Amino acid sequence: MERKRNEATLNRPDGDRVLDAPYVFIDVNEYTRQLREEDAWHKNDRNGITVFKTDHLTMVVVGLHEKAVLKNNVIDGIVTIQVVEGKIRVTTPDGDIDIRQNQIVTFHRCLDHSIEALDESVMILTNNKHV
C-alpha cells in the first residue's frame, strides 16, 4: 500500500500529516486545537482539515463558529456527521434534527441538507463514496 501524505503550506504550517496508510491515528483534540489556531478560523466562520482520504472514504474535522451555515450540502456518498463539541442543526427535506456532542446522524447519498452551528461546534464528517 502506498502511503499518502499532505504537506505543510503557508496557510497550514502544521499541515504535514499522513492521509492514508495501513493505519492512521487521528487525534481529534489535537486537530481541533490546530484548526482554532489557524488564520482561517479567525477570518472565516469555519475551518476544516482532512484527516483521512482514500478513493472511497474521506474524513474531515470541521470547526464551526456559532451561526455558521453550510447550505445545500449534497454529497455523492453515504455521509455521517458526528458532533464532537457543541450543537448543530441539520435541515433536511423532512425537517430539522438537532445534534449535540456524542451524537451522530447519517445520510444516504445525494440527500440535500444544510448544517447550522447553534453553538461553536466541532464535527467529524465522513463521506463513504463506495456505494
CATH fold of 4-128 reads Jelly Rolls (2.60.120)
DSSP class per residue in 22-77: S-----HHHHHHHHHHSHHHHHSSEEEEEEEE-SSEEEEEEEE-TT-EEEEE--SS
| pTM for the structure as a whole | 0.90
Q: What is the pLDDT of residues 47-84, one digit of tens each?
A: 999 999 998 999 999 999 999 999 877 778 899 999 99
User: Quick check: 131 pLDDT over 60?
Assistant: no
- 29 φ, ψ to 5°? -65, -40
Strand partners, 87: 100
Helix H, strand E, coil C: the string for 65-124 is: CCCCEEEEECCCCEEEEEEEECEEEEEECCEEEEEECCCEEEECCCCCEEEEECCCEEEE
C-alpha cell of residue 99? 445534534
For the chain, report the end-to-end CA distance as a whole number of angstroms. Answer: 22
Tell me how far the alpha carbon of residue 27 is from its chain's centroid: 14
Numbers of helices and strands, H then E, in the chain: 2, 11
User: Quick check: 16 pLDDT over 60?
Assistant: yes
Q: Using CA atoms, how far apart are residues 116 and 128, in angstroms rounded to an integer?
A: 22
> What is the arithmetic mean of pLDDT over 84-99?
94
